[in-house]
Structures are given as C-alpha cells and as structure tokens.
Amino acid sequence: MGRGTGQRHRAGRDPGRQGCGFPGPGPVSRVSTFADLFQARQQNGCWTFELEARFNGAFGGTNGGVAAAVSLHAARGDRRELVPAAIDCHFLKGCRPGTATVTTRPLSEGRTLTVIATETRDHTGSLCTADLVTLVNPDRLEQALRALPAICVPADRSAEPLPWRQPTGHRIPLIDTFAPEIVASSGDSTTTRIRPGFDVRDATAEAVCIAADISVGPPVGRAVSGRASLPNPNLALRFSGARYAGSHLQSCCRLAQIEAGLACTEIRVGSDEMLLGTGTSMTTCLPLPGSRGRGSG
C-alpha cells in the first residue's frame, strides 16, 4: 500500500492498541497461521494486527495486499461458517509500521450474503484503508453446480523463476518477506509467485489478497519504464471459494490499458491446479520530477 506519503515510522504511543485495551505484543515463537503471523487480537469490538516494517511495500507503508488481508480477516471475525466472496479496497493513506486497528460494521446480514464495512487505522490513529467485504453462506448455494475454470497456468512459463531483486539504493521489505519471483512474463502480462508464510488452508482469501496486490507492479512498471511513480490506490477481488493447501500462490496480472495517467489491470490468482480469485486494480501514474509532459517514446 504505502500509497502516498512514504513517511517513516516514528516511535511513539500507540492509540490504536490503547483504544482496544490490549497489552503489549508478546514474542511469537512459531508462525503457522495468518493470526500468528500478524499477531491478530480481538477485543472490545475491534481487531488489532502487528503490521511490522517487513510487510512494507515500495512506498514506505504496509503493502496493500496485507492491508486488504487484515481487513478481510477482521470482517470474517466469528463468522467462520461464512465464505469470503469479495473485497473492495480503498487505500487512503500509507499505513505506518506498528499496531493497526480494524473496526467492522455490518451493512447487511441476509440469509445468503453478509456485507461488512471495515476501517483500518495505523498506530497514530490515521485512517488508512476503507473496505467492503462480502461473505456468503455456503448452505444457501447449490453446491452441486461446478464449471471447470481456466486455471492459473501461464503458457509462457519461464524455465527458471526470476526472483525479485532489491532495487539499488531503496530496500523494499516485502521482497524479503514474501519472496516474490516472476514465473512468466510476456507482452502486457506478468505472473508472479509468492510465499505467503502462513498456512493458507483457513486463510486462502487472505493469501489471495497479498498475491494479487504484489503482482500489479511488474506489468505496469514495464510499460511505464521508469517515467512515473506507480501507487495503486484500490483493489477489487472476487474469490472462488476454494480452499488451497499449497505453500505458494501465483498471480497473473495483465495491464489492460493506460489512458491519461490511469492504468487498469486484470488479475487472476491461483495455482497450477485451481483458480482462487480474480480482480482488478487501478494505478495512478504520478509524474517524477522532470518527467511531466514527456512523450511515450
């Protein structure tokens, strides 16, 4: 995410944690679940997550996929019998490392669909993301209906994956954390594989959020070729409902169009065997110093 300011985390008191009445975080000896990795806690009507600097993206704040994932996790809350169907994320401001607080508010709780609004604030109390999460009651669906989807296998798979490298003079923490690597790249599409770092069987949709957001950068960056800064201020995903047990996910992102500085992408997340989600994002191509008004050549 980091959509914005790129400001560095400043030490200080943590209003989000104080507001929910939590003690300080204890050490985590073993990371095995999503809740372990992000030290998720629920109390007094809100959730807190430890968004450490290792989850930061290129713009100095928490990666947007991580921000989306914690919103989704909070929205699911005690509704574990419901299945994530969709998330629509708006990244309003870079989320500084530290304790983030997520509040949830049901907008609709029907027999089939439940829609939850979430807001995430960083440790300074600043509003960073506002999302809508849709959950579905699987007991209301015709479970026998199935169609074979086009699985997420790139036809132009590289012989060897190409790990992301840290750019010269600017470290991007998520590269070390999620180990993204390009497994296919052709024309306007790039397929990026990540290692979520947690057991995704009970958090498949959360893992899809992270994989999807990370995959947006390469195809847009290749088209822009260093002429602009490329934050993506939103992300919309629809989940297949499938549970996944693998250790890696891959996301194929295709640049659909760039027009007047706005880039639109199409995203497919899954594995060699199944499709886990589809979506889209918008990238705002912000001019770099001295680059405004240049042509496309």
Residues 209-240: tens digit of each pLDDT: 999 999 999 999 999 988 999 999 999 999 99
Collapse the DSSP code of 72 into the 3-class scheme (helix H, G, I; strand E, B; otherwise coil) and give the result.
Answer: helix
Task: Identify the pLDDT of residue 156.
Answer: 60
d(CA 182, CA 184): 6
Q: Which of 217, 173, 165 is nearest to 191 (CA)?
A: 217
Task: Identify the pLDDT of residue 69.
Answer: 99
Task: Identify the pLDDT of residue 24.
Answer: 35
Instruction: Say which residues have a Cβ less than 8 Å from residue 78's Cβ, sequence separation at least 6.
Output: none
Q: What is the mean pLDDT of the chain?
A: 87
Give phi and psi for 139, each to the nearest 5: -70, -15
On whether the CB atoms of residues 128 and 4 are closer than 8 A, the answer is: no
Collapse the DSSP code of 219 into the 3-class scheme (helix H, G, I; strand E, B; otherwise coil) and give the result.
Answer: helix
For 116-158, give the DSSP string.
EEEEEE-TT--EEEEEEEEEE-GGGS-TT-------S--TTEE
Q: Which of 77, 76, 94 is nearest to 85 (CA)?
A: 76
Structure confidence by residue, pLDDT tens digits, 47-61: 999 999 999 999 889
Task: Identify the pLDDT of residue 272.
Answer: 79
| Average pLDDT, consecutive stretches of 10 residues, N- to C-terminus, the chain (297 residues) | 39 36 37 92 94 95 98 96 98 97 98 98 98 98 81 63 93 97 92 96 97 97 91 96 93 96 96 91 91 52
Max Cα separation, the chain?
Answer: 58
Task: Identify the pLDDT of residue 4.
Answer: 40
Task: Identify the pLDDT of residue 151.
Answer: 61
* The pTM of the whole model exceeds 0.85: yes
Structure confidence by residue, pLDDT tens digits, 58-86: 988 999 999 999 999 999 998 999 999 99
| Surface-to-core class of residue 15, CB atoms within 10 Å of its CB (0-12 exposed, 13-18 middle, 19+ buried) | middle
| 252 torsion bin: left (phi>0), alpha (psi -120 to 50), beta (else) | beta
Which CATH architecture best describes the domain 15-139+150-287?
Beta Barrel (2.40)
The residue extents of the domains of the chain are 15-139+150-287
Task: Identify the pLDDT of residue 154.
Answer: 60
